[in-house]
Chain A
Amino acid sequence: MTEITKKITITDSEIVKLTEPGNYLIELTKPEATAEIFGSFSVSRKERAKIVVTIHHKAPQTLAKTNLRGVARDKAHLSFSGRIIIDEHCGGTNSFLTERILLLSDTATAEAIPDLEILSDDVKCSHAASVSSIPAEQLFYLMSRGISKFEAEKLIVDGFLQQ
């Protein structure tokens, strides 16, 4: 996979889908601009993927929802680095960042860095990050209904990546 660098300026309401690793700078420059950013990534073998997303709020009353999901198999490494920057005088801004990573093998590794830099008040801003394996209860539930472990894993992963 080649690294790409992309700058996206959002003035209205947009849905951005991220499919390739790389550096993304998303700027919300007009008041009341909204962005929904969704990225799903799957790495396997010895791949190393790094996704850097910066959401920069430059205008008041903007909204951004960022959702990054990834699955790492084999010896792959997956890194999510998300950053929300809210400039001064950008009151009324809401921004949410979620980074979730599923590790499907003991040798897969992951890194999640969700940063916040907030220079104005009257904002609602949160981020959440999690790294985990497939919860045993979920696998058990599906397998108890006659689905093989392999199938169950596939179902869970597909669901996880599609949201």
Chain B
Amino acid sequence: MARFAQKKTSDFDAKGSESYEHGFSYSTKDYRYITKPGLSQKVVEEISHIKEEPKWMLELRLKALKQFEAASMPKWGADLSGIDFEAIHYYLQPTDKQVSSWDDVPADVKLTFDRLGIPEAERGVLAGVKAQYDSEVVYGSLKEAFSKDGVIFLSMDEGLKLYPDLVKEYFGSTIPSGDNKFSALNTAAWSGGSFVYVPKGVDVKMPLQTYFRINSPNAGQFERTLIIVDEGAKVHYVEGCFVAGTSIVSSEGRVFIEDVKKGDLVLSHEGKYKKVNHTQARPYSGKLFSLSIRGNPSEEIEATSEHPFLIVKRKYKNEKNKVWEKSWLPVSECRQGDYVCIPIDQVIDEQQTRIFPIKIGTGKHGFKVEQLEFPCTPELFTLIGYYLAEGSISSGHYLNFSFSETEREFIDEVKRLILEVFGETRISESYHKKNHGTNVVVSSTRLCRFFEQFGKGAANKVIPKWVMQEGKEKQEKLIKAWYRGDGNYYKRTLAHGFKEMFRISTVSKNLAYQGRDILMRLNVASSINVRNRAKEKRQDMYNLVIGGEQMIVFGAIVDQPIQPKIWGKKRATYFNIDEKYLYAPIRSIEVSEVDNIYVYNFGVDDDESYVAGGVAVHNCTAPSFSSGSLHSAVVEIILKKGTRCQYTTIQNWYKNVYNLVTKRAYVGEEAEMIWTDFNMGSKVTMKYPSFILAGKGARGETLSMALASAGQHQDTGSKAIHLAPYTSSTIVSKSISKDGGRTSYRGLVNVGPHATNSQNTVICDALLLDSISRSDTYPVDRVFNSQVAVQHEATVSKIGDDQLFYLMSRGISEEDARKMIVRGFIGDLIKKLPLEYAVEMNRLIDHEMEGSIG
């Protein structure tokens, strides 16, 4: 949960920026072992060697590697072309050994779990928690009571060491390595995962839980889970793949992050304004990164380490980049000299005339509102420019422009323009002897009311939105007039040449930053520096400085042409600017440890990004790596006679993860397997939990829910293989597609010739929330004997107008009505979850549904 901190000063940690070399979301320098990317026999042998595995396991891995290489990618289902097997790190080992107490877990790992929002209660009160961080299980604890009963709950590696015979007997028995390409991959490269053995007759009442998280870019996560439930035993296993993921981060340009409210509009990295859909604040302890950006050194940006920024990596040490390729990188991967991207407001709203409602007093009768209409011309913008520089309002009714007596040309221009634009004739001039100043005074209440929106005095000057978004030509006029009033051209000869720049000075911080924004629209990059004048007992002075190459464009705007070259060489500049972004190099990065400060959070519609401290940042929780990560797990469950196992997964991976999982249970006589599978995250999910009903009277049940938003494809379903008589299975699948997401149900029901008197029911319900989304159903029923009842039902629908009408006629808003209908749609599945997960799910769904009207 990356967040931005409230502004605070931080001590410089000189080593901080040096120690983050590996380019992972968290420092991986402490990782004991990282394999090179790519999978080869050598890598597999290395993994097996490090883990000190028995020979049969190595042989199994190598056999699986061959099968993986020989197998082709599945030609059906989702698009998997984005996976680059060569770029993946197949094994990362974060800590030396497993720890059994939560206190011994390394601090940064703990922090990650804290941010995942794994509730304290779950860690402490609930039974066993195993946490998988990258490839290894780092923390495991099991309630003593369970150990007493002989329940084994270990990481797969430990399981292999302590119970080699048990593992050898069952490993790969339900899902052989050659089952499919990804099970082969997992068998070759597996690390971590859980090993669970429940002895005869033991009923494990508390759910066993595991959390997984991918911390590094291009890290594959290949956990292997093996659950063996011996006769008459019962267990519930919960797999929480990245429970957090709901809430996001930070601040908008000139608004303090803590002041951002739901519904505010913030600029996204696309240069458009998007709505804030939720906000959040929470205490944070850990590393805080402070970035100082060239051009804006006074305003530091502080972020937690995995927070992604839109960054262009520096290519050359002493030269600017030639190509400007942007990517989202966590702040911990940024280096001094890299370029941050500052989005330029792309909104242009040009008008020929504008109307302003103005309150005019009517003596003791109060106010009446008058509509003041005037042409919105370049001349008006020149006047606004002069007002920003020299204007003020006195006594509420007198509009003043204060010039020096020598600025005769400007004085005349202002007088002419007031007459031209507003047709105002009540203009007088007054001379201030002591300051050698000339005041142009306009006695017009209406004009005063109009100019009030630009601030009444020098320190609170501000540019309203309609001016910020006007056309370029008009804005150039404004800059030109502002420069005439408040700006100067500075040239000083030094020993080695000369220093040359344009400057505009103001005491209004807002105005300085807004001036910078307008200049960006005019293709000029500028810097802001602050001069503290407390000693002179004056306000801070903000200087907008235009130097180097930028002076050429600016010179043209203010009619003060500049030589394009000095001594035949191009003028230098730190910056690069194009239509959409200003690229400014990072001046320095500082890292500090903070303890329990409040960090702020908010989510943004559509673009999921915003501008913090002037820089484009992403609002996601999980590290956002530019390359896709792969999660390819294998879960094997063996249920002996009369047992029951429920396996619950809540999957909310970050939306660039390929989630390709093989899950299968072997269900013995009178045993019962329940898969509860919730898929909300990841880019592509292909997961079909299956059960082989091999014993007489075995039962299988799958409850599957998928939610796909933009860019996601949830290809999920279930397989029921009936091999024995009197077996029954139920598959209930609910899917919701929105914002162009795609959900598919892909299922197989196979009733073998010996599975007489078997029953199967499949129900697939799909809900489409808009016209760009897609929903598919691909069931296959194969029946090889006649004494069966196989049923399949599927419906696809949208939220009915009549349903909405019914709810809205009872005073419920459309958004709430939609949420209610969706909640009802999946309600019966949610009920099957443990309470805290049910709460979490409802919250996630509400969040996902927010703002999805239409």
How far apart sit A39 and B774, CA to CA, in the bound complex (Å)? 29
Find out whether the CB atom of A109 lies under 8 angstroms from the CB atom of B784.
yes
B321 in the interface, Cβ–Cβ < 8 Å?
no
A121 in the interface, Cβ–Cβ < 8 Å?
yes
How far apart sit A128 and B776, CA to CA, in the bound complex (Å)? 14
- A105-B786 contact given A118-B768, A129-B792, CB 8 Å threshold: yes
How far apart sit A117 and B777, CA to CA, in the bound complex (Å)? 6
Find out whether the CB atom of B793 lies under 8 angstroms from the CB atom of A127.
yes
Find out whether the CB atom of B769 lies under 8 angstroms from the CB atom of A115.
no
User: Chain B's nearest CB lies how many Å from the CB of A76?
Assistant: 11
Find out whether the CB atom of A113 lies under 8 angstroms from the CB atom of B779.
yes
- A129-B791 contact given A103-B786, A121-B770, CB 8 Å threshold: yes
B270 in the interface, Cβ–Cβ < 8 Å?
no
How far apart sit A118 and B737, CA to CA, in the bound complex (Å)? 11
Question: Looking at the complex, which of B58-66, B217-225, B356-364, B794-802 is the stretch in contact with chain A?
Answer: B794-802
A111 in the interface, Cβ–Cβ < 8 Å?
yes
Residues of B within 8 Å of A124, CB to CB, are 795-797
Find out whether the CB atom of B771 lies under 8 angstroms from the CB atom of A89.
yes
B501 in the interface, Cβ–Cβ < 8 Å?
no
Find out whether the CB atom of B786 lies under 8 angstroms from the CB atom of A127.
no
User: Chain B's nearest CB lies how many Å from the CB of A80?
Assistant: 9
Residues of A within 8 Å of B797, CB to CB, are 123-125
Find out whether the CB atom of A121 lies under 8 angstroms from the CB atom of B798.
yes
For residue B773, which residue of chain A has the nearest CB?
A121
- A120-B783 contact given A115-B776, A126-B793, A126-B796, CB 8 Å threshold: no
Find out whether the CB atom of B783 lies under 8 angstroms from the CB atom of A109.
yes
A139 in the interface, Cβ–Cβ < 8 Å?
no
A8 in the interface, Cβ–Cβ < 8 Å?
no
- A108-B774 contact given A126-B793, A129-B781, CB 8 Å threshold: no
A14 in the interface, Cβ–Cβ < 8 Å?
no
Find out whether the CB atom of A114 lies under 8 angstroms from the CB atom of B783.
no
A36 in the interface, Cβ–Cβ < 8 Å?
no
How far apart sit A108 and B771, CA to CA, in the bound complex (Å)? 43
A122 in the interface, Cβ–Cβ < 8 Å?
yes
Out of A91, A101, A110, A125, name the residue touching B796 (CB < 8 Å): A125
Contact with A along B755-786 (1 / 0, CB 8 A): 01000000000101111111111111111111
Residues of B within 8 Å of A112, CB to CB, are 780-781, 783, 790, 792
Do most interface residues of chain B lie in helix, strand or loop, or is the interface mixed?
Answer: strand
Find out whether the CB atom of B775 lies under 8 angstroms from the CB atom of A118.
yes
User: Chain B's nearest CB lies how many Å from the CB of A90?
Assistant: 10
Find out whether the CB atom of B781 lies under 8 angstroms from the CB atom of A123.
no
For residue B799, which residue of chain A has the nearest CB?
A121
Find out whether the CB atom of B793 lies under 8 angstroms from the CB atom of A116.
no
Out of A109, A115, A133, name the residue touching B778 (CB < 8 Å): A115
- A111-B783 contact given A89-B771, A122-B771, CB 8 Å threshold: yes
Find out whether the CB atom of B770 lies under 8 angstroms from the CB atom of A114.
no
B789 in the interface, Cβ–Cβ < 8 Å?
yes
Contact with B along A120-160 (1 / 0, CB 8 A): 11111111111111000000000000000000000000000
A3 in the interface, Cβ–Cβ < 8 Å?
no
A119 in the interface, Cβ–Cβ < 8 Å?
yes
Interface size class of A (residues with CB under 8 A): 35 or more
User: Chain B's nearest CB lies how many Å from the CB of A160?
Assistant: 14
How far apart sit A101 and B790, CA to CA, in the bound complex (Å)? 10
How far apart sit A109 and B790, CA to CA, in the bound complex (Å)? 12
Residues of A within 8 Å of B798, CB to CB, are 121-123
Find out whether the CB atom of B786 lies under 8 angstroms from the CB atom of A121.
no
In chain B, positions 698-742 with a C-beta closer than 8 Å to chain A are none
Find out whether the CB atom of A118 lies under 8 angstroms from the CB atom of B779.
no
A88 in the interface, Cβ–Cβ < 8 Å?
yes
Out of A111, A121, A126, name the residue touching B781 (CB < 8 Å): A111
A104 in the interface, Cβ–Cβ < 8 Å?
yes
How far apart sit A115 and B746, CA to CA, in the bound complex (Å)? 9
Find out whether the CB atom of B796 lies under 8 angstroms from the CB atom of A132.
no
User: Chain B's nearest CB lies how many Å from the CB of A15?
Assistant: 24
B467 in the interface, Cβ–Cβ < 8 Å?
no
Residues of B within 8 Å of A131, CB to CB, are 751, 781, 783, 788-790
How far apart sit A104 and B256, CA to CA, in the bound complex (Å)? 75
Residues of A within 8 Å of B444, CB to CB, are none
Find out whether the CB atom of A129 lies under 8 angstroms from the CB atom of B786.
no
Residues of A within 8 Å of B751, CB to CB, are 131
Residues of A within 8 Å of B790, CB to CB, are 112, 129-132
Find out whether the CB atom of B786 lies under 8 angstroms from the CB atom of A133.
yes
Find out whether the CB atom of A116 lies under 8 angstroms from the CB atom of B777.
yes
Find out whether the CB atom of A126 lies under 8 angstroms from the CB atom of B786.
no
B627 in the interface, Cβ–Cβ < 8 Å?
no
How far apart sit A91 and B770, CA to CA, in the bound complex (Å)? 11
Find out whether the CB atom of A118 lies under 8 angstroms from the CB atom of B774.
yes
Out of B784, B791, B796, name the residue touching A130 (CB < 8 Å): B791
Residues of A within 8 Å of B791, CB to CB, are 128-130
For residue A96, which residue of chain B has the nearest CB?
B795
User: Chain B's nearest CB lies how many Å from the CB of A54?
Assistant: 13
Find out whether the CB atom of B792 lies under 8 angstroms from the CB atom of A114.
yes
How far apart sit A131 and B755, CA to CA, in the bound complex (Å)? 14
Residues of B within 8 Å of A113, CB to CB, are 778-781
Find out whether the CB atom of B789 lies under 8 angstroms from the CB atom of A91.
no
For residue B763, which residue of chain A has the nearest CB?
A128
User: Chain A's nearest CB lies how many Å from the CB of B760?
Assistant: 9
In chain B, positions 780-824 with a C-beta closer than 8 Å to chain A are 780-798
Residues of A within 8 Å of B792, CB to CB, are 112, 114, 127-130
How far apart sit A80 and B510, CA to CA, in the bound complex (Å)? 70
Residues of B within 8 Å of A111, CB to CB, are 780-783
For residue A111, which residue of chain B has the nearest CB?
B782
Find out whether the CB atom of B777 lies under 8 angstroms from the CB atom of A106.
no
Out of A106, A121, A127, A129, name the residue touching B771 (CB < 8 Å): A121
Residues of A within 8 Å of B785, CB to CB, are 103, 106, 109
Out of A105, A108, A115, A126, name the residue touching B795 (CB < 8 Å): A126
How far apart sit A117 and B792, CA to CA, in the bound complex (Å)? 16
User: Chain A's nearest CB lies how many Å from the CB of B384?
Assistant: 47
How far apart sit A88 and B766, CA to CA, in the bound complex (Å)? 16
User: Chain B's nearest CB lies how many Å from the CB of A58?
Assistant: 16
Out of A108, A116, A121, name the residue touching B776 (CB < 8 Å): A116
For residue A101, which residue of chain B has the nearest CB?
B783
How far apart sit A112 and B770, CA to CA, in the bound complex (Å)? 30
User: Chain A's nearest CB lies how many Å from the CB of B169?
Assistant: 34
Find out whether the CB atom of B794 lies under 8 angstroms from the CB atom of A108.
no
User: Chain A's nearest CB lies how many Å from the CB of B501?
Assistant: 56
Residues of B within 8 Å of A106, CB to CB, are 753, 756, 785-787
How far apart sit A89 and B756, CA to CA, in the bound complex (Å)? 45
For residue B790, which residue of chain A has the nearest CB?
A131
Find out whether the CB atom of A121 lies under 8 angstroms from the CB atom of B768.
yes
How far apart sit A49 and B482, CA to CA, in the bound complex (Å)? 85
Residues of B within 8 Å of A110, CB to CB, are 781-783
Find out whether the CB atom of A116 lies under 8 angstroms from the CB atom of B775.
yes
For residue A124, which residue of chain B has the nearest CB?
B797
Out of B756, B770, B777, B786, name the residue touching A104 (CB < 8 Å): B786
Residues of A within 8 Å of B796, CB to CB, are 116, 118, 123-126
User: Chain B's nearest CB lies how many Å from the CB of A132?
Assistant: 5
Find out whether the CB atom of B769 lies under 8 angstroms from the CB atom of A121.
yes
User: Chain B's nearest CB lies how many Å from the CB of A109?
Assistant: 5
Residues of A within 8 Å of B774, CB to CB, are 117-119
How far apart sit A119 and B774, CA to CA, in the bound complex (Å)? 5
Interface centre among A88, A108, A113, A130 (most CB of B within 10 A): A130
How far apart sit A115 and B748, CA to CA, in the bound complex (Å)? 12
Pairs A-B, 4 closest by C-beta atoms:
A103-B786, A116-B777, A121-B768, A129-B792
7 contacts between A and B (CB under 8 A): A106-B785, A106-B786, A107-B753, A109-B782, A114-B777, A121-B771, A130-B791
- 18 further A-B pairs in the complex, CB-CB below 8 A; given A112-B780, A126-B794, A132-B788: A88-B772, A103-B788, A106-B756, A110-B781, A111-B780, A113-B779, A115-B778, A116-B775, A118-B776, A120-B771, A121-B770, A123-B768, A125-B797, A128-B791, A129-B781, A129-B792, A130-B789, A131-B781
Chain B positions near chain A (C-beta within 8 angstroms): 751, 753, 756, 766, 768-798
Chain A positions near chain B (C-beta within 8 angstroms): 88-89, 91, 101, 103-133
